[in-house]
């Protein structure tokens, strides 16, 4: 090489908005290397994509999670949806919304106390078993004391394999609960493979639509922290019980601090 060539400049051209990256994990202001992304940003993207795929396909250990929840002093029941395995669950969403016949019989045979339950809680893998395995038990550890303080009569926690959101309708109806709350692994995004969603519905029954549900989303350390999520769920549950409604008719009207 000629000694007369000019010295190479930095191969990466920083984006003028790069300072905003300290405020978000979103992929913004990545900079450029020539006409493409810098190599390290491209590798980060591939790594995040692989983590999202892993979260969708990772096996859900329902018994282990039920054991963790039992340690909180809560009775648990493990059930399965009508989807027989992970592949069927991904290809047939409708089967994730209904219990398997044996699980339906199990809940039909549950002897409930004379006084009706206020709330049925369902925990299921959804599209990210990783999210449920890491966030569900800590969230319940924060939420259950709040519900006890507000005198909620809570049914045994149902841990369901291969469940979709609407499974809470069938479970809540079988347990005779006034409301149902589903804690479910959300569809992984790039950089958020461990995001948990909480969906509540008043009067759970077959035929409810998503317009009748409220959702508290992105529950994870880098998103909505667990203590804040527990307080929001508590607020929505209390409002739903008092006003006897949920979904588009129920808004979070608290003043932001």
Which residues does 123 contact at the CB level (< 8 Å), separation at least 6? 65, 69, 132, 136, 140, 157, 158, 159, 160, 182, 183, 184
Tokens, residue 47: 């790594």
Give the residue-averaged pLDDT of 120-136. Answer: 96
Tell me: the pLDDT tens digits for 132-179?
999 999 999 999 999 999 999 999 999 999 999 999 999 999 999 999
On average, the pLDDT of the chain sits at 92
Q: What is the spatial distance between Cα 119 and Cα 203, in angstroms, rounded to a whole number?
A: 10
Task: Name the one residue in this structure whose structure tokens are 């339950």.
Answer: 117
Q: Domain ranges in the chain?
A: 18-23+32-56, 62-243
Tokens, residue 22: 């300290």
Q: Is residue 186 part of an annotated ligand binding site?
A: yes
What's the CATH fold of domain 62-243? Rossmann fold (3.40.50)
Tell me: the pLDDT tens digits for 179-228?
999 999 999 888 788 999 999 999 999 999 999 999 999 999 989 999 99
pTM of the model: 0.87
């Amino acid at each position: 090489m000629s000694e007369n060539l000019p010295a190479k400049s930095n191969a990466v051209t920083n984006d003028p908005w790069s300072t905003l990256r300290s405020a978000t994990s979103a992929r913004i202001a990545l900079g450029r290397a020539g006409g493409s992304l810098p190599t390290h940003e491209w590798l980060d993207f591939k790594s995040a994509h692989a983590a999202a795929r892993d979260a969708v396909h990772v096996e859900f250990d329902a018994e282990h999670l039920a054991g963790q929840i039992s340690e909180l002093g809560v009775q648990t029941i493990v059930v399965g949806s009508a989807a027989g395995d992970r592949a069927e669950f991904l290809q047939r969403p409708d089967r994730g919304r209904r219990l398997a016949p044996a699980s339906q019989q199990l809940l039909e045979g549950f002897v409930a106390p004379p006084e009706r339950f206020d709330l049925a809680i369902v925990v299921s893998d959804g599209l990210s078993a990783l999210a449920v395995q890491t966030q569900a038990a800590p969230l319940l550890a924060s939420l259950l004391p709040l519900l006890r303080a507000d005198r909620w009569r809570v049914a045994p926690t149902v841990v369901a394999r291969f469940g979709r959101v609407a499974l809470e309708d069938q479970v809540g109806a079988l347990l005779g609960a006034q409301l149902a709350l589903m804690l479910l692994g959300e569809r992984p995004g790039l950089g958020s493979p461990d995001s948990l969603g909480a969906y509540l519905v008043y009067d759970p029954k077959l035929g409810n639509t998503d317009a009748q549900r409220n959702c508290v989303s992105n529950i994870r350390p880098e998103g909505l922290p667990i203590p804040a999520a527990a307080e929001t769920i508590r607020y929505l549950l209390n409002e739903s019980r008092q006003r006897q409604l949920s979904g588009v008719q129920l808004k979070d009207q608290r003043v932001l601090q």
